[in-house]
Amino acid sequence: MPLDWEAIGRALLLYDPSFPMVFPTGSFWVWCIIVLGLYGLMLQLGRRQWGLLWLLAFSVFFYYKSVGAFVGLFLLTLSVEYLLVRGMLRYPRAARAFLIAAIGVPLGFLGYFKYAGFVLENWAYLTRSAFEPPDIFLPAGISFYTFQMISYAVDVRRGTIPAGSFWEYALYISYFPQLVAGPIVRAGDFLPQLKSPRIEGEWMSSGLWLALQGLVKKVVFADYLAQYNDLIFANPTGYSGLENLFAIYGYGLQIFCDFSGYSDVAIGLGRMMGFDLRVNFTKPYLSTSITEFWRRWHISLSTWLRDYLYIPLGGNQRGPLRTYLNLLLTMLIGGLWHGASWRFVVWGGVHGLALAVHRALFGRAEPITPKPLWRKILGWVITFHLVLGLWVFFRAASFQTALQVLEKSLHIDWTYLIPFWQTRSLFVGLLVAGYLLHAVPMQSVARLEQLFARSPLAIKAVVFVVTIQLILQMRQSYVQPFIYFQF
Amino acid sequence: MRNFWGHWLLLAGGLILFVVAAPMLPPSWERIELPQQKLATEEPLPAWQGPPLTAYVPPPLRPIPPDPSAQAHALPGQDAPERILLLGDSMIEWFAKRFARWCRASGYALYTVIWPSSNLIWWGTTDTLRAFIERFNPTYVLICVGGNELFIPRIEKRRPHLQHILAQIQPLPYVWIGPPAWKPDMGICAFLEDVNGPGRYYGSSRLTLERLSDGAHPTPSAAYRWADSVVAYLRDSALYPLNFPLEVSGQPSQPHYTILLSPHAP
């Protein structure tokens, strides 16, 4: 069959909203190999600056492939932000005003694109007007790069990092592996690495391992589970309690595999290019308390919220009541960061409340002495199910749907368990396998990663081919966007 | 840098390998949906080979007894292992007879409720369905409604009605038998399929059925073939399968109990 070069060219070069350039697509990997090859060549020739500029150019192109013309807005925000930070350094007397502007500009854009529709919708509801709020396009990744821009400006103002050159700053914000769905990288971690990217064999291997692991999580687990979960969440009353319950467990695993899969690929790609992006997940569903959960889930977001919101609000330094209030406020804002909807407010609010209650009951931090086993188990059961229950508000299209799912899942006829297993055996198999793999200790995973890194290239090639074949086998014909793209 | 290039070659070689081998790779396992029964719609189906059909006598109109104690009386077939309640509009009149034969062969009790001219709004704004479920105490529900809404635009507006219907059926296992459309519909089939999901929706519109002189209702023999296809779906592809045999012989039968409702809006 002759190749349709025009279609291939379009897929590789032009923006198509139906087919964004995401990690599990062939077009991304074609580009990735080209980018890596040229980047490696420039480093080999001792042209590090060229290599970084090449990465920047590709990152901007990658964002264009994700959001189309909105890349212009991104570049504008990026440039204005840098000018404001430079102004802050140049005019120390007006530094505060520059800082407020540097925070306000990206927040303003975020507010318009993400929250204007929500605010107008609520306004129309409160005033009982027939006004129809406009449907505003939300550029992918805006929440992530807004947070990076704010933390950069604040860190420069605090003097913890140098401002760096514009190109370094632009690459820090737009670096393509983490641009649209995190992890939220700190300038203090990333900018120093630009001076000497760590191109080593073991890092490359470890990056490849992480990238493969992330793709398996996303394509094999998350996307397959999503098909069933979508059915149930679309019409929970049309399904039995047992099916709703499985959808709750299924979504818990789906969102973990989807988001941590993305983070794994991003961190893996970073390592292949010699950069260390921080770990974003450390077995969150093994947490025995809600406080521990937030130390293990989306670590880059929770530490960002801690450093730039919770601590500036006063943290735990102004008495217990203020601490609880700060926790609640931080998580409410964290919830709203995820999406402009009251469902996310409730989701964040209940998490904040749970954190405050945990703190009130058990003090400042987890006890240093090991907990007895019964407390660990009890803590795990409560935490796991609280988190899963709250994910229902995260996933459902409305409050009503979320409550329907929860209500249905409380009325279970266990006689359907065997027919369910017979009909959805692959779903159940993946669900069980996914949670079991999640329970494998971090040390064992690290050992496996080291084993892969130290094995000969031929063994790696076999692992690579088998994994890619598995991914292709489970892949769907249409692109399943990452859940966190919408944030 | 040597190791860097080794890994880069691995990536590039892998990509080329998969591009070259793509046509030879097995197909993706992507779909979670259960397969619909494949039907040869292009070729004309053979004529009905069974025994001659008896003349159709409309079942008597038997309203629900107002006395609640009537529920205590055992209905015929209530000791059967599976009690199936078949509900629908006038499309299922002949369908029910052939389906009753299959049920008899499997030892299932079949209760049929036919509400001519009914639609999603009628079923979705009343508790008629719930009343019949309480009366017959079925273990499985089949519903065929939508034939009177084939040409309704913006069918999405019927979603609350459909959800009310499904809420009344829950938690019983059910299959929605899609309307046997005689012309391309304006979205109801896709809507029903989407809401009910795989394993719970049989798409009848893909069948080519002979029609009565009104041009809409299937002829008896066509309705029998329709029933046979639905049975195959229930046996092989439904989310909660029913244990039907592969073949059935004998004349079309009568359900254990049939109720014909007045063709009027509630």
pTM of the shown model: 0.68
Q: What pLDDT sits at residue B128?
A: 85
Q: What is the mean pLDDT of residues A98-119?
A: 90
First to last CA, chain A: 41
Told to judge if A338 belongs to the known catalytic residues of this protein, a careful annotator would answer yes
Site from B2, B5, B9, B10 to mutate, A interface, most A CB atoms within 10 angstroms:
B10
**Residue in the block written with tokens 């204007």:** A116
Coil, strand or helix at A151:
helix
Q: What is the mean pLDDT of residues A27-45?
A: 89
3-state secondary structure A154-212: HHHHHCCCCCCCHHHHHHHHHCHHHHCCCCCCCHHHHHHHHHCCCCCHHHHHHHHHHHH
Contact, B81 vs B110, CB < 8 A? no
Q: What is the mean pLDDT of residues B59-78?
A: 41
Q: What pLDDT sits at residue A164?
A: 83
Site from A43, A200, A465, A470 to mutate, B interface, most B CB atoms within 10 angstroms:
A465
* B201-202 and B174-177 strand pairing: parallel
Q: What pLDDT sits at residue A412?
A: 83
Q: Give the Cβ contact number of residue B85 at 10 Å.
A: 26
Q: What is the mean pLDDT of residues B34-61?
A: 32
Q: What pLDDT sits at residue B33?
A: 37
DSSP annotation of B156 reads G
Local confidence band at A86 (pLDDT 50, 70, 90 cut-offs) = very high
User: What is chain A's Cα-based Rg?
Assistant: 23
Q: Which two tokens stand for residue B168?
A: 């009344």
Best CA proximity match to A269, nearest among A195, A180, A378, A369: A180
Q: What pLDDT sits at residue B155?
A: 84
Does the CB of A425 have a partner CB in chain B at under 8 Å? no
Mean pLDDT of chain B: 76
Q: Which two tokens stand for residue A268?
A: 């893996």
Does the CB of B8 have a partner CB in chain A at under 8 Å? yes
Q: How far is CA A50 from CA A36, A54, A56, in A?
A: 13, 6, 10
Across A158-167, B12-21, B148-157, which has the greatest mean pLDDT?
A158-167
Local confidence band at B43 (pLDDT 50, 70, 90 cut-offs) = very low
Which residues of chain A have a CB within 8 Å of the CB of B34?
423
Best CA proximity match to B139, nearest among B19, B6, B231, B240: B240
CA dihedral angle for residue A289, residue A184, residue A258, residue A485, rounded to 10 degrees: 130
| CA atoms of B15 and A182, how far apart (whole Å) | 26
Site from B32, B140, B200 to mutate, A interface, most A CB atoms within 10 angstroms:
B32
pLDDT digits (tens, 9 = 90+) for B199-229: 899 999 888 888 887 788 898 888 988 998 8
Local confidence band at B50 (pLDDT 50, 70, 90 cut-offs) = very low
Which residues of chain B have a CB within 8 Å of the CB of A29?
11, 15
Q: What pLDDT sits at residue B76?
A: 52
Closest CA–CA distance from residue B18 to any residue of chain A (Å):
8
Contact, B202 vs B175, CB < 8 A? yes
Mean pLDDT of chain A: 86
Among chain A residues, the shortest Cα distance to B12 is held by A33
- Per DSSP, the residues of A363-379 read -SS--SSPPPHHHHHHH
pLDDT digits (tens, 9 = 90+) for A347-400: 999 999 999 999 888 876 555 556 788 888 999 999 999 999 999 998 998 888
Which residues of chain A have a CB within 8 Å of the CB of B29?
426, 473-474
Q: Which residue has the higher pLDDT, B138 or B125?
A: B138
ipTM: 0.73
| % of chain A residues with pLDDT over 90 | 44
pLDDT(B74) > 90: no
Q: Which residue out of A298, A338, A358, A438 is catalytically annotated? A: A338
Q: What pLDDT sits at residue A129?
A: 67
Q: What pLDDT sits at residue B54?
A: 28
Among chain B residues, the shortest Cα distance to A459 is held by B10
Which A residues in the span 216-235 are in contact with B, Cβ-Cβ below 8 Å?
224, 227-228, 231, 234-235
Local confidence band at A464 (pLDDT 50, 70, 90 cut-offs) = confident
pLDDT(B103) > 80: yes
Q: Which two tokens stand for residue B186?
A: 């304006």
Q: Is the dihedral of CA B184, B185, B187, B191 positive or negative?
A: negative
Q: Which residue has the higher pLDDT, B79 or B184?
A: B184
pLDDT digits (tens, 9 = 90+) for A363-376: 765 555 567 888 88
- The domains of chain B, with CATH numbers, are 89-266 (3.40.50)
| CA atoms of A53 and B141, how far apart (whole Å) | 65
Q: Which residue has the higher pLDDT, B246 or A290?
A: A290
pLDDT digits (tens, 9 = 90+) for B153-200: 778 888 888 988 998 898 889 999 999 988 888 889 999 998 888 889
Does the CB of B56 have a partner CB in chain A at under 8 Å? no
